[in-house]
Structure 1
Amino acid sequence: MRLGVLDVGSNTVHLLVMDAHPGARPLPAHSHKAELRLAELLDADGSIGDRGIERLVTITHDAVRTAEDKGCEELLPFATSAIRDAANADAVLKRVRDETGVDLQVLSGPEEARLTFLAARRWYGWSSGKLLLLDIGGGSLEIAYGIDEEPDAAVSLPLGAGRLTAGWLPGDPPDLADVRALRRHVRAEIARTVGEFARFGKPHHVVATSKTFKQLARLAGAPGSGEGLYVQRGLSRTSLEEWVPKLSVMTAEQRCALPGVSEGRARQLLAGALVAEGAMDLFGVEELEVCPWALREGVILRRLDHLPAA
């Protein structure tokens, strides 16, 4: 069957159309992204402003039309931290539902972590053993750990690259005092969760998802997206520690010139790097592997798991 996943994130609204069947690997058929950057469109009280809502409605309407054009039998729409943390979340969801017919399902932070973990587990299989997953989005950081498909621990922290950039790094290039303050904040937040995971023992395999990790791995010399899904891409803490000081003194325009860095993500790359560095350091990770599958694939896999047997 052909399924569409509509992911309303902090940075983008992403429609992923996949041909999926129980027991088979989901195959991407179409992908469309539209920049939204809701984390940067919040009012002073934490509400999503009219401009952000209107853009969300327009993009959602266009995504529904595209899903229909591509022959999707079912659309799985969901939203993550940008909407679940907004002060006017209920009003935003109602307006989207009233004007587009789409009932966005808001995932909790732990749900987001669990579904992303499921995707990583299915990608790497049982032979990967105890798996530690890190995912940096625009609004939050998800961490999950386990040996089965359901993680033993899953948390979500308000450490997304877009959220932190908007709240902590106003300058371009950023003030180095602001960078240090953000670094302290990030590490204090992550340190509170380390004990919850440490009791399960050392992971056999550490993996990361999200555009932020893909870009950081690319900076460290990993192959570009043009090389395909099946090329191994890794990131070492040593490489990351070399890049953070460089990113700290660059403007967004200068970061755009780096390999693999898009214009829309350039400004928030430093915040994402600080989160990645802090997580790898505090969890004792020397190297990790970038997983091609993430939350959207996890949503599809969970839906396939609930289909009745033929």
Structure 2
Amino acid sequence: LQELPVFAALDLGTNNCRLLVAVPTRHGQFRVIDAFSRIVRLGEGLTASGRLGQAAMDRAVEALKICGDKLRARNIRKARLIATEACRTAANGVEFLDRVEREAGLKLEIIDRQTEARLAVSGCGSLVERDTQGVVLFDIGGGSSEIALIDLTGHRSPRLANHIVSWTSLPVGVVSLAERFGGRTVTREIFAAMVEDVAVRLHAFDGRDRLSHVLASPKFHLLGTSGTVTTLAGVHLDLERYDRRRVDGLWMDRDSVDRMVEKLVGWDFQQRVANPCIGADRADLVLAGCAILEAIRAVWPSERLRVADRGLREGILSELMADDGAWRSRGRQ
């Protein structure tokens, strides 16, 4: 049996360090053979200081060393290792990546906002069904939030990213918003102020009306990828522990999303910590994420939200495999 080519994707974000190693399977899909994910909070304190902090950089380097070991243990055909908002905006971001190369043996590239938006879309192709007319896909990150408007009313190509008609990247994510407004104690007033902060930024997005012709259609929906929406979905399903298989691809109607946001806003910090889908790692970030979600829902109201537990890594793998012809050569199995 011919050995399958191995592909790898690493995403160093403002909050998380994540690695996926996978082999192509049937057309457009892949099987994960190794993975790593750790909350490192690389962007901790960045909003205030403009720099990556020493402790945060140390945490990230330790995680990246593990990723480096995993990658070197395999024969990898193609890999892409990216860094996003924290390294993009920090005064010492490039300097930090030099250290990563020295200590972890990994060369990361800082991607621009447009690439980040495209990769978020590329990872979600299989969650957009054939008869869909339009989608607003959003990825609420730690330091930035990407939003892409996708028009599927014409001929559909295999690559979802080809249908992006407008996109934006807001320089606000769960870590930066929580650091500015406070994440532990969030009153209704503070929550409303966070929503308003994001709403003002969305108002300045010129391309926000590019899907106005399909907004009223039942074949339009929102597609959310990020810890915020997967957490909401886990709470909605009342999971005793988070389970990706039940969350990825889940549909939530407007009332369910309203109820979940209302529930979380009503909980204090300890109640959020106590929920198994939130926990101590996300308890001070989840309401900032909900605020970004609420601002997005106000601009593009939809009866349905599809939840994606996937992100830039899946987008990278999809693009690497497609560009390499990994699916073409094997036929549609």
1:160-179 → structure 2 map (5 Å cutoff): 160-169=173-182, 172-179=184-191
1:137 aligns with 2:150: no
Q: Which deviates further from its counterpart, 99-108 or 116-125?
A: 116-125
Query: Shift in Å at residue 107 of structure 1?
Result: 1.7
* Partners of 1:38 and 1:284 in 2: CA distance: 33
Give 5+ residue unaligned stretches, structure 2.
none
Residues 58 and 120 of structure 1: CA distance in aligned 2, closer, same or farther (over 3 Å): same
CA contact (8 A) 1:10 1:81 kept: yes
Q: What amino acid does structure 1 have at the position aligned with 2:273?
A: C
Cα deviations by residue, 1:23-82 (Å, 9 ceiling, x for unpaired) = 351111122112211222438431002222222222212211022335544432111112
* Partners of 1:177 and 1:206 in 2: CA distance: 26
Equivalent in the alignment of 2:283? 266
Equivalent in the alignment of 2:39? 35
* Partners of 1:8 and 1:198 in 2: CA distance: 32
Equivalent in the alignment of 1:111? 115
Query: Shift in Å at residue 222 of structure 1?
Result: 7.3
* Partners of 1:302 and 1:227 in 2: CA distance: 22
1:17-166 → structure 2 map (5 Å cutoff): 17-20=21-24, 23-42=27-46, 44-146=48-150, 147=152, 149=160, 150=162, 151-166=164-179
Aligned partner (choices 198, 201, 212) of residue 228 of structure 2: 212
Query: Shift in Å at residue 293 of structure 1?
Result: 3.6
Q: What amino acid does structure 2 have at the position aligned with 1:235?
A: M
* Partners of 2:143 and 2:174 in 1: CA distance: 6
* Partners of 1:2 and 1:16 in 2: CA distance: 10
Give 5+ residue unaligned stretches, structure 1.
none
Q: Give 3-state SS (helix, strand or coil) of 1:30's partner.
A: strand
Equivalent in the alignment of 2:208? 197
Equivalent in the alignment of 2:198? 186
Equivalent in the alignment of 1:241? 258
Give the structure-1-normalised TM-score: 0.88
Task: Kindly report structure 1 stretches of 4+ aligned residues shifted beyond 6 Å.
Answer: none
Q: Give 3-state SS (helix, strand or coil) of 2:27's partner.
A: coil
* Partners of 1:238 and 1:164 in 2: CA distance: 25
Residues 232 and 102 of structure 1: CA distance in aligned 2, closer, same or farther (over 3 Å): closer
1:223-238 → structure 2 map (5 Å cutoff): 226=243, 228=245, 232-238=249-255
Query: Shift in Å at residue 225 of structure 1?
Result: 5.0
1:256 aligns with 2:273: yes
CA contact (8 A) 1:43 1:49 kept: no
Residues 74 and 160 of structure 1: CA distance in aligned 2, closer, same or farther (over 3 Å): same
Residues 244 and 127 of structure 1: CA distance in aligned 2, closer, same or farther (over 3 Å): closer
* Partners of 2:46 and 2:253 in 1: CA distance: 34
Q: What amino acid does structure 1 have at the position aligned with 2:301?
A: G
Query: Shift in Å at residue 84 of structure 1?
Result: 1.0
Q: Which deviates further from its counterpart, 20-29 or 161-170?
A: 20-29
1:299 aligns with 2:316: yes
Q: Give 3-state SS (helix, strand or coil) of 1:51's partner.
A: helix
* Partners of 1:139 and 1:103 in 2: CA distance: 21
Give the structure-2-normalised TM-score: 0.83
Residues 214 and 131 of structure 1: CA distance in aligned 2, closer, same or farther (over 3 Å): same
Query: Shift in Å at residue 103 of structure 1?
Result: 1.5
CA contact (8 A) 2:231 2:277 kept: yes
Give the length in aligned residue pairs. 308
Instruction: Using CA pairs under 8 Å that are at least 6 residues apart, name the structure with larger relative contact order, 1 or 2.
Output: 2
Residues 232 and 123 of structure 1: CA distance in aligned 2, closer, same or farther (over 3 Å): closer
